[in-house]
Amino acid sequence: MSRRRFLSTAMAGSVVAAAGPQIVSAALGPASAASGPGDVVGKITVGYQSWFACPGDGAPINGWWHWSQDWGRPPSPGNTAIKAWPDLRDFTHGYQTAYANLNNGRPATLFSSYDQQTVDTHFAWMRDNGCDTAALQRFNPTGGEGPTRDAMAAKVRASAESTGRRFYIMYDVSGWTNMQAEIKADWTNKMRAHTASSAYARQNGRPVVGIWGFGFADDNHPWSAAVCLDIVNWFKDQGCYVMGGVPTNWRTGVSDSRAGYLDVYHAVNMISPWMVGRIGTAADSDRFYTDFTVPDQADCDAHGIDYQPCVLPGDVSARQRAHGDFMWRQFYNMVRAGVQGIYISMFDEFNEGNQIAKTAEDASMVPSGSGFWALDEDGTACSSDYYLRLTADGGRMLKGLLAPTPTRPTRPVPSGGNGGSNVAAGRATAESSHTQNYGSGNAVDGDASSYWESANNALPQWVQVDLGAAASVGRVVLRLPPSWGARTQTLSIQGSGDGSSFTTLSGSAGRVFDPASGNAVTITFTPSGVRYVRVNVTANTGWPAAQLSELEVYAT
């Protein structure tokens, strides 16, 4: 049983009643963050389990790790540990289960996290959908799962480096008997080495380490406050920025939280209270905003702690998702409370049905007779990447690129069919020139605060992206840093199949970048098959150069 299922069973339906006095919500505006923007503050972090394996994948664990109850036998309707079926169309290899074929006739196969291509695919999805940082879950590594978990850390590091994402180690201490000494040894002897990676997440210049599970009032988390405080302070003494995954009622010390742990909670650099199983509807989210989010944020502000609450898509099997309205309401409530970051629970949690990773769209994509619900369970068609795209829009709202709105802006199925990802993200770029360190790569890195700027006083100038292969594109989104003042850039959009001969996709016109609308400009045109997309700038009222923080290209 995962930590989420255990705690959800214990707490479902009781959380609001245990919250203590209610605080009426008010228009607070952005809170005063304890830290400036970094790899977790101001960012979207996704919880990444990476704990699925299959016989024959080469993993030391050599079993159906977390896919079935009995890891020695393949998953089947009578031997399963999952609540939702993944969409495997982007994977190069799958492992045959004992389920019947999918309703579309395809074999019922599952992925292995131990395959590097699986992790690469997941991190590409993160890159293309605004997921900035992955928190790699690390349970007790001293037992039989240890060698496989060690290998997964290396695989995640490689994928993060290749896709421009960040990652950090999040220890889940649930059930870890000799945790106090062993967690220190594991960090010192194994995991600390990964902080040498350019992709390892840092906040305030320090490597981030997550510790999940201190203070929970159950037998699986038995340590005293003194032991927990010792570990938090030890990691801080090692130069780490500590993210604490804490009970929902951490502030009041009731229900799921042991009393007397407030000093532990206040010792961490960032607090992330548990959420799964606590809410199941948009109305629950509104109550949670009043009873927990607002007073939690106030307490963190008072103690100089960064606040990173959870947002979850909802359990597919419990039919909570409401075609994205449930998740969006949480995004809206977190942003209007002024939180410092958002943690998505989770990226690949097919065991709980709370995953945002690509999932079966409809009944044709689940095994026949399995009873699994697909994303269209409430009658609304959803593309398999819908919750990735929803996360991207939620991230834009967090970062000020989208005005806070309670109305979900993301379509369950994008116009033109499935897909809708920014196909320019992380791709190779070229430019006519750049000044200082403002190179063209900044225009596809997913960070609205970084930007490309051409040589000054030398217009026209251009920047282009290589999509890697020809694609039918019909929409380009151009962005400037949201804090910049308004300006108009006169520009055209051009396309090419070979990178040398270009045709006009959208003619030259003055494009207004207005901070009131996120400093974003959307340009649509007749779909055309191109590999290279170029923005050609001839004038700029705000600065004597061409400027772009993001060049996004969308396939039709």
Please give the model's pTM, rounded to 2 decimal places. Answer: 0.73
Residue 225 has a pLDDT of 98
pLDDT averaged per 10 residues, the chain (length 556): 41 38 32 78 97 97 97 98 94 94 92 97 92 97 96 98 96 96 98 98 98 97 97 98 98 97 98 95 96 98 97 96 97 98 98 96 91 91 92 94 92 64 87 96 87 97 93 89 93 94 93 83 85 97 96 82
Count of beta carbons in the 10 Å neighbourhood of residue 501: 8
Answer whether 148's CB lies under 8 Å from 114's CB.
yes
Same domain, 388 and 446: no
Residue 7 has a pLDDT of 42
Question: Which of residues 376, 398, 420 is at a domain's end?
Answer: 398
Tokens of 242: 């500590």
> DSSP strand E in 194-300: where?
202-203, 206-212, 241-246, 270-273
**DSSP output for 446-496:** S-TT--EEPPTT---EEEEEEEEEEEEEEEEEEE--TTSPPEEEEEEEEEE
Residue 33 has a pLDDT of 53
Same domain, 392 and 459: no
Answer whether 228's CB lies under 8 Å from 258's CB.
no
Please check whether residue 415 lies inside any domain of the structure: no
Strands 520-540 and 461-479: antiparallel
Bridge partners, 478 (sequence order): 521, 551
- What are the phi and psi torsion angles at 146 (to 5°)? -55, -50
Bridge partners, 472 (sequence order): 529
Q: Is 226 exposed, middle or buried (0-12, 13-18, 19+ CB in 10 A)?
A: exposed
Question: Which DSSP symbol is given to 101?
Answer: P
Please check whether residue 420 lies inside any domain of the structure: no
Same domain, 194 and 152: yes
Same domain, 159 and 57: yes
C-alpha distances in angstroms, 499 versus 156, 271, 466, 474?
33, 48, 8, 18
Bridge partners, 431 (sequence order): 463
Residue type present at position 297: Q
Residue 301 has a pLDDT of 96
Same domain, 309 and 186: yes
Bridge partners, 471 (sequence order): 530
Question: Which of residues 398, 417, 439 is at a domain's end?
Answer: 398
Same domain, 378 and 316: yes
Same domain, 434 and 359: no
Same domain, 391 and 449: no
Number of domains in the chain: 2
Question: Which DSSP symbol is given to 324?
Answer: G
Q: What is the CATH number of the domain that holds 316?
A: 3.20.20.80
Answer whether 31's CB lies under 8 Å from 307's CB.
yes
Answer whether 288's CB lies under 8 Å from 333's CB.
yes
Tokens of 53: 């394996």
Same domain, 249 and 294: yes
Strands 461-479 and 550-555: antiparallel
Please check whether residue 418 lies inside any domain of the structure: no
Q: What is the C-alpha separation between 264 and 267, in angstroms, rounded?
A: 5
Same domain, 390 and 440: no
Q: What is the C-alpha separation between 126 and 344, in angstroms, rounded?
A: 12
**DSSP output for 22-84:** --------S---SS-SSSSTTSEEEEE------TTS--TT-S-TTTSSSTTS--BTTB---SS
Answer whether 329's CB lies under 8 Å from 287's CB.
no
Residue 517 has a pLDDT of 67
Same domain, 387 and 452: no
Residue 381 has a pLDDT of 84
Q: What is the C-alpha separation between 495 and 526, in angstroms, rounded?
A: 12
Q: Is the peptide bond before 404 cis (omega within 30 degrees of 0)?
A: no
Question: Which DSSP symbol is given to 100?
Answer: P
Please check whether residue 410 lies inside any domain of the structure: no
Question: Which DSSP symbol is given to 359?
Answer: B
Question: Which of residues 398, 414, 445 is at a domain's end?
Answer: 398
Residue 420 has a pLDDT of 57
Tokens of 553: 């290209």
Which residues, including other chains, have CB under 8 Å from residue 143's CB and lie 6 or more apart?
Answer: none
Please check whether residue 37 lies inside any domain of the structure: yes
Answer whether 267's CB lies under 8 Å from 303's CB.
no
Same domain, 368 and 448: no
Please check whether residue 409 lies inside any domain of the structure: no
Q: What is the CATH number of the domain that holds 494?
A: 2.60.120.260
Please check whether residue 238 lies inside any domain of the structure: yes
Please check whether residue 411 lies inside any domain of the structure: no
How many CA atoms lie within 13 Å of 310's alpha carbon, on the beta-carbon side?
25
Range of the domain at 432: 428-555
What's the pLDDT tens digit per position in 396-413?
999 998 899 999 999 888
Q: What is the C-alpha separation between 489 and 235, in angstroms, rounded?
A: 48
